[in-house]
């Protein structure tokens, strides 16, 4: 009936060290944070990219990564609990801390990261938007790795389809589905990384809020498009009008992102002291 690409079954556990399994999922988070830390240090060391805007120093990025990592993990887990499976966790409160069983939400991680950046900005004496602009440039690295980990697990698979590149995912029934995790890896990871890298080379960091706005709006659009191919979470299903929770949570992000872009591109640049 159609050409179905065999799903490349990969053990979700990379290696077992005694009773402690090292999973690809956890490794994706660690690798994303480490690579993001390295890339942001490079960006912060290139003063020419920032112009007169006061920005984090390469040394201070070592502290920033701690705040961001905590924001990602705590915010991502709490976001999943509140937005995607609240009724279950109300009945099983001890499961809230069992993040190793899966269940992280990008939108919650974004809120947690924003709080961490705000605390760091106040302590480091730099503008919140300049911190956010640097972090926005590196987040697509983690998004790419995270979506690849979703594919390996496998989880968050796509809707049923007859496209030639469809796959039959273990645990998703006998019908071929979109490999939506790979769509998201391409759009949210590679696509956003390239967009922001080009924007930065064209001077985006000299306008506080521009990189953050491009990332926020770009992610929202990429997520909304991907949701048309991704199977909704079983406990939520489709919401009104065929929308999904991912779509609804992305709409405020789109509005915020467009607002930040407009703010950054207004007639004049912000004075360095306020950036």
Q: State the binding site.
A: 147
Distance CA 49, CA 28 (A): 29
Q: Would residue 8 be called left, alpha or beta, if left means φ above 0 and alpha means ψ between -120 and 50 degrees?
A: beta
Q: How many Å separate Cα 241 from the centre of its chain?
A: 26
Instruction: Rounding to the nearest 10 degrees, give the CA dihedral for residues 267, 274, 54, 130.
Output: -70
CA distance 26 to 209: 31
Nearest C-alpha neighbor of 190 from the set 230, 147, 129 = 147
Interacting residues of 241 by C-beta distance below 8 A, sequence separation 6+: none
Task: Using the CB atoms, write b or e for 252-268: b if 16+ within 10 Å.
Answer: ebbeebeebbebbeeee
Q: How far apart are CA 225 and CA 228, in angstroms?
A: 6
What values do phi and psi take at 15, rounded to 5?
-160, 145
């Amino acid at each position: 009936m159609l050409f179905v690409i065999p799903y490349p079954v990969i053990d979700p556990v990379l290696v077992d060290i005694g009773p402690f399994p090292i999973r690809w999922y956890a490794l994706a988070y660690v690798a994303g944070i480490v690579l993001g830390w390295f890339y942001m240090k490079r960006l912060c060391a290139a003063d020419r990219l920032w112009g007169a805007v006061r920005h984090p120093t390469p040394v201070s990025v070592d502290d920033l990564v701690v705040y961001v990592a905590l924001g990602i993990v705590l915010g991502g887990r709490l976001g999943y609990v509140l937005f995607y499976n609240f009724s279950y966790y109300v009945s099983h409160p001890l499961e809230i801390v069992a993040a190793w069983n899966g269940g992280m939400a990008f939108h919650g991680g974004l809120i947690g990261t924003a709080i961490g950046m705000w605390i760091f900005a106040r302590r480091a004496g730099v503008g919140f938007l300049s911190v956010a602009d640097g972090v926005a440039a590196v987040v697509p690295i983690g998004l790419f790795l995270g979506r690849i980990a979703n594919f390996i697990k496998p989880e968050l698979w796509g809707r049923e389809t007859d496209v030639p590149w469809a796959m039959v995912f273990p645990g998703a029934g006998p019908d071929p589905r979109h490999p939506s995790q790979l769509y998201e890896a391409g759009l949210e990871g590679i696509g956003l990384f390239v967009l922001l890298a080009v924007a930065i080379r064209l001077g985006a960091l000299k306008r506080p809020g521009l990189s953050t706005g491009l990332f926020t709006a770009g992610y929202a659009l990429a997520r909304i498009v991907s949701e048309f191919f991704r199977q909704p979470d079983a406990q939520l299903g489709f919401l009104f009008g065929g929308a999904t929770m991912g779509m609804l949570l992305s709409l405020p992000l789109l509005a915020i992102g467009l607002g930040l872009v407009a703010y950054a591109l207004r007639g004049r640049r912000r004075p360095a002291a306020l950036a």
